[in-house]
Amino acid sequence: MKIRQVSVFVENKPGRLVEMLEVLKAQSMNIQALCIAEGSDFGIVRMILSDPAKGAAAMRKAGFTVTETTVLHAEMPDKPGGLLETVAKPLAEAGINLEYFYAFINPSPGKANVVLKVSDPDRADQVLNL
């Protein structure tokens, strides 16, 4: 299923992540999935939020640099080879590049969730039968 991801560029210094999280808290925003990629001077905080448009707008208003991206949410079996057989192999066989992904908790026993950034979200959505 296609969903919206909010990415925030955050300076890599003490307290800056706290400032970002305070903005989301003030908006009663739930973070459903989160990934932080860091560099020497800044980090990219990628999030799936309960209301992506509202969260992105609040972050911009607070002075953060924000982008919104279409990504995929895929549910797969939580077992050895689940990622390989359910996600990686079907995308590769369809010629779709998997640019990055991160996982998050699924409350359903035996299931796992991933957020996928791919080169062709529409085709990937069809290939993975999301």
Question: Which structural domains are found in the chain, ordered by start?
Answer: 2-69 (3.30.2130.10), 71-127 (3.30.2130.10)
Res. 112: pLDDT tops 80: no
Q: Which helix (H) or strand (E) holds 43?
A: strand 42-49
User: What pLDDT, on a 0 to 100 scale, did the predictor assign at position 130?
Assistant: 61
Cα separation of 51 and 53, whole Å? 6
| Residues with Cβ within 8 Å of residue 102, at least 6 apart in sequence | 33, 34, 35, 46, 114, 115
Label residue 115 by pLDDT band (50, 70, 90): confident
Residue 22 CB neighbour total at 10 angstroms: 11
State the amino acid at position 99 in one-letter form. Answer: E
Cα separation of 20 and 58, whole Å? 10
Locate all alpha helices (DSSP H) within 1-130, ordered by sequence: 16-26, 52-61, 82-83, 89-93, 121-127
Of 103 and 60, the structure prediction assigns the larger pLDDT to 60
Least confident of 2-11, 31-40, 64-73: 31-40
Stretch 22-46: mean pLDDT: 92
User: What pLDDT, on a 0 to 100 scale, did the predictor assign at position 106?
Assistant: 67
